[in-house]
Structure 1
Amino acid sequence: MHVGRQTWLFKNKPVIISTGTVVGPDEGEGPLADTFDYVHEDLDMQEKSWEKAERKLLEQATQAAVQKSTIQENQINYFVGGDLMNQIISNTFAARKMGLPYIGVFGACSTSMESLAIASLLVDTGNAEYVMAGTCSHNCTAEKQFRYPTEYGSQKPPYAQFTVTGAGAAIVAATGDGPRVIAATIGKIMDFGLTDPFNMGAAMAPAAVDTIQAHLADLNRTPSDYDLIVTGDLASVGLPIARDLFKENGLSLEGTVFNDCGLMVFDLETQAVQAGGSGCGCSAVVTYGHILQRMQKGELKRVMIAATGALLSPLSYQQGESIPCIAHAVTLEMEG
């Protein structure tokens, strides 16, 4: 049901019964390496193009999610997914291979929680029994499309972010064992006039703050009601900005309760990833791997993930447009 201004409260509490996570070599050298289902040693993954490699990531993540579940792929009613590529081709082509009814969505790096929210809504309202949500990104495809091909060897400013090479998929069901999806807040477009396509953390921070505050207000909760609140892709530049904005609004999010997937997936001290991770695969692999595993171990009971997205296109920033941003938040709870 709808509560507050922009939040869905799921009365039947859909459950994430299975997940799959597949990453590239850099993510495999990060601190969360042992939480992923499969780590590729090479970025090309024995494919002829970066785009085909990205599609392979998602195909493998969806396969892992099915294999780890107790259902067959043909029992899944819908597949909901998206990515950063023009016309979300990674998901579209992966869905073509799966042969499932498909709902393509685009929220840039916020797509992981956008797709999970829609999947959960379908299940909660009784319009589906099983829905898969999946997203992916690849460092080389994103650089090629939005900035410069990696083969060009261009230097990046220190505030730039490093697109995660990875894919995450989750199967949401009406019944079963696992973390339950309690609520989702659909974000609003926020645009503070930034035009630098490298400075996404700063551009996205206001959207993250706006959605998190709306989520808390709509559900009549405070940050202390959560064991963990994570943003998707603010990294080392955007997260401090978000903290400052929260303080200005009279809300303090400090310490270990507030973190960012882009900071968790890499070790900024030892890995050359500039300000930290980003991409559709960033919050997907951290959530469906590391965070859900901690929940299943009983280390976390209630978690909010606010995935953030910069909704620019190559054409828009070439024409000098500012960067509209959005964040979608989902609350997960582990019962018992």
Structure 2
Amino acid sequence: MGAAKKIGRQTIAFANPPVILSAASIVGPKEGEGPLKDYFDRIAGDMYYGEKTWEKAEQKILQETMELALSKAGLKPADMDFLLAGDLSNQIIAANFTARSLGIPFMGLYGACSTMYEGLALGSMLIDGGFARYVLLGACSHYATAERQYRFPTEQGVQRPMSAQWTVTGSGAVVLGKTGQGPRVTHAIIGRVVDYGEGDPNNMGAAMAPAAADTIVRHLKDIDQPPETYELIITGDLGKYGRELVIRLAEQQGIVLGTNYQDCGVLIFDESQDTHAGGSGCACSATVTCGYLLKEMKAGRLKNFFGLGTGALLSPCSCQQGESIPGIGHGVVVQAN
């Protein structure tokens, strides 16, 4: 006998869809110059954000974003049943130290750049399952911390190939509740790890695209509906080349993605900013979702969307040992109230 809330192989339909009570976003200076600048709550004046190191700046951005989301919801850390968060930095140190400061029962997440949507899926399960009334969740990244951990120190000035993406500096946070006013998370889609053998850490879109396409196709087949069911289908940070690959891979499996398919990494920067293939990082989907998407929904210009965070499950160790880069894609469906 199958699970009562499962539809097909990978989709979960919530019996009591959790409510997005509030959302907040803070971004770095480059993101604050991009086409979505008016949607973010705060824009940092520089990459250090008043701290001595980039890592400390990243943690401060995450903590302030979470505090802002709580303030918007009229709630305090003591009201939260769980905190779910993650980042890219060395055993998710930004999330760990933020959890230390907030004092909320904490589960650290690592889904690479899919972490925000992994948190939305798991937080919704906790609430729908009756294990929590309120869940605070979020994710962050920082261009400088990610570059020197996964590729090269920024001080070296290494020339980036055109397939490279720009790790978004920023953070997004959401307060989920059992009841209240706001958009509802109606479905969660848990992805599979998919690996087509891409091994270039400067071509993350190609590494993640197969997993993104797999999640999109499997969800649509689970619910037996066409892509047009959703006003918007949006991936987390594939960039322009990864987005093109998803369209091709989905078409090979009988799913034709049209103009309602977009990618957060394409939206957050424009070509004049010289980010090459677009944005990436945990904060890419986190800030675009908590800033742009949810504010468009609040304004009545977006009724529903199927969003999925896309993650490249690599590490410096695995790359140095010649491993390929596995990908993952976790998603949720959000419906306007």
**If the TM-score is normalised by the length of the shorter chain, which range does it land in?**
over 0.9
1:210-221 → structure 2 map (5 Å cutoff) = 210-221=214-225
Alignment partners' CA distance in 1, 2:290 and 2:182? 11
Paired position in structure 2 for 1:273: 275
TM-score of the aligned structures, taking structure 2 as reference length: 0.97
Q: How many residues align?
A: 333
1:129-278 → structure 2 map (5 Å cutoff) = 129-255=133-259, 257-268=260-271, 270-278=272-280
Paired position in structure 2 for 1:292: 294
Measure how far apart 1:220 and its partner are. 2.3
Paired position in structure 1 for 2:74: 70
1:93 partner letter = F
1:40-79 → structure 2 map (5 Å cutoff) = 40-79=44-83
2:33 partner letter = E
Paired position in structure 2 for 1:282: 284
Alignment partners' CA distance in 2, 1:204 and 1:117? 19
Aligned residue for 1:292, secondary structure, equals helix
1:26-105 → structure 2 map (5 Å cutoff) = 26-105=30-109
Question: Quick check: 2:77–2:103 contact (8 Å CA) kept in 1?
Answer: no
Render the CA deviation track for 1:1-34: whole Å, top value 9, x for unaligned: 2221112111101000011100000000001111
Aligned residue for 1:19, secondary structure, equals strand
1:33 partner letter = K
Render the CA deviation track for 1:157-186: whole Å, top value 9, x for unaligned: 011010000100000000111110000110
Measure how far apart 1:134 and its partner are. 0.7
- For 2:323, which of 314, 321, 324 is the aligned residue? 321
Q: Percent of aligned positions with the same letter in both sequences? A: 50
2:315 partner letter = S
1:182 partner letter = T
Question: Quick check: 1:229–1:258 contact (8 Å CA) kept in 2?
Answer: yes
Aligned residue for 1:79, secondary structure, equals strand
Paired position in structure 2 for 1:304: 306
Question: Quick check: 2:217–2:253 contact (8 Å CA) kept in 1?
Answer: no
Measure how far apart 1:221 and its partner are. 2.0
Measure how far apart 1:250 and its partner are. 1.6
Measure how far apart 1:234 and its partner are. 0.7
* Cα RMSD (Å): 0.8
1:296 partner letter = K
Question: Quick check: 1:76–1:132 contact (8 Å CA) kept in 2?
Answer: yes
Q: Which runs of 5+ in 1 are unaligned?
A: none
2:265 partner letter = G
TM-score of the aligned structures, taking structure 1 as reference length: 0.98
Alignment partners' CA distance in 2, 1:247 and 1:7? 21
Give the 4+ runs in structure 1 shifted more than 6 A.
Answer: none
Render the CA deviation track for 1:229-248: whole Å, top value 9, x for unaligned: 00001101100111111121
2:216 partner letter = I
Question: Quick check: 2:21–2:180 contact (8 Å CA) kept in 1?
Answer: yes
Alignment partners' CA distance in 2, 1:331 and 1:16? 12
1:66 partner letter = L
Alignment partners' CA distance in 2, 1:71 and 1:17? 10
Aligned residue for 2:74, secondary structure, equals coil
Render the CA deviation track for 1:269-308: whole Å, top value 9, x for unaligned: x102111000000000000110001111111111010110
